[in-house]
Amino acid sequence: MNLLWLQAAGCGGCTMSLMCAEDPGLFDLLEGAGINLLWHPTLSEATGAAVRRLLEKIEAGDIALDILCIEGAIARGPKGTGRFNMLAGTDRSLLGWVQALAPKAAHVVAVGTCATYGGVTAAGGNPSDAVGVQFDGAEAGAALGASFRDPSGLPVINVSGCPVHPDWVTETLMLLADGTLAPADLDDYARPRFYADHLVHHACPKNEFYEYKASAEKLSDLGCMMENLGCIGTQAVGDCNIRPWNGTGSCTRAGYPCINCTAPEFEDPNHSFTETPKIAGIPVGLPTDMPKAWFMALASLSKAATPKRIGENAVSDRVEVPPTIRKPRR
């Protein structure tokens, strides 16, 4: 299968993350899956006229395009021309190239939250009119129309994340190569369900503190960061804590709150990422599927039952009180 990778308006961080794929590494994985990388602006040697000829042949149908990957948001400005983001040497915008090549591809994959929904590139008033490949924030219909489907019936596959987890990209590519990714395997925002059916909360190392609502008060504390520090891992999709980054890490494992970077419009929460909005002392954002009345009742009971070890450790930057050692009963 032939894969073409284009980088639009973004920081290139998803490519940096993708290079961290391991066991196997990126290039071994592509080779093993039978995927031929036609061109990637960062990883390929070809530049200039050679790339221009390649793109022209793909557009003309002389070279088959099986997977088109797009990283970065699509800048539609100024005034819908897309000329804020040109593909060097072609006198054509990335918007124009995406619209020309997507219908030629067997599958289209948006890589990272900028490419999927606009992401950070669309933040702060969005002066470049940046959107995702098929979604403008949470609404379908952007660089490609809401009705766009590839020949197999799939919409643009939105592998979101800021940056995206390398395994989410490689697993998506392997499923496409195997012909086993169907529309039912995507959620309502066209994210692959193999990671989007999980919450960041799952396997978070702070879950014991969460259960007792033993909350951190500052970023260096061990406690749960939901109540005071803006963590929304109980609402954010992603298996970040089930398959940690680089084998060991995640945002919450590193002591930073989950900011829901896999979701549309996460970039403009209208408050600091490390602040939990509250009304009358109650967090506004509650765990997914949890009615407010039940949450308040459980939270009150949990706080009342908090063991001394968990309460004291929650507001410390290290374990101050170790678990109780109990002798086995004979």
Final residue in a domain of this structure, among 164, 196, 228: 196
Of the given ranges (23-27, 74-78, 97-101), which has the lowest mean pLDDT?
Answer: 23-27
Count of domains in the chain?
2
Specify the pTM: 0.94
**What per-residue confidence (pLDDT) applies to 106?**
98
**What per-residue confidence (pLDDT) applies to 132?**
98
Based on the domain organization, do 63 and 178 belong to the same domain?
A: yes
193 band by pLDDT with thresholds 50, 70 and 90: very high
Based on the domain organization, do 155 and 19 belong to the same domain?
A: yes
**Which string of DSSP letters, residue by residue, matches 246-278?**
TTTB-TTTTT-----TTSTTTT--SS-TT---E
324 domain residue, yes or no: no
Quick one: which of 104, 107, 12, 19 has its CA closest to 55?
A: 104
Mean pLDDT (whole number) for 273-292: 84
Based on the domain organization, do 267 and 289 belong to the same domain?
A: yes
Mean pLDDT (whole number) for 226-244: 95
Based on the domain organization, do 187 and 213 belong to the same domain?
A: no
Based on the domain organization, do 155 and 62 belong to the same domain?
A: yes
**What per-residue confidence (pLDDT) applies to 299?**
83
CB 111 within 8 A of CB 14: yes
Of the given ranges (13-27, 126-140, 233-247, 287-301), which has the lowest mean pLDDT?
Answer: 287-301
Based on the domain organization, do 229 and 86 belong to the same domain?
A: no
Task: Give the span between the Cα atoms of 311 and 76, in whole angstroms.
Answer: 51
322 domain residue, yes or no: no
CATH number at residue 112: 3.40.50.700
CB 118 within 8 A of CB 126: yes
Final residue in a domain of this structure, among 144, 177, 196: 196
**What per-residue confidence (pLDDT) applies to 287?**
83
The residue ranking higher by pLDDT, 262 or 330, is 262
Final residue in a domain of this structure, among 156, 171, 196: 196
Q: Which domain holds residue 296?
A: 198-316
Based on the domain organization, do 233 and 260 belong to the same domain?
A: yes
**What per-residue confidence (pLDDT) applies to 206?**
96
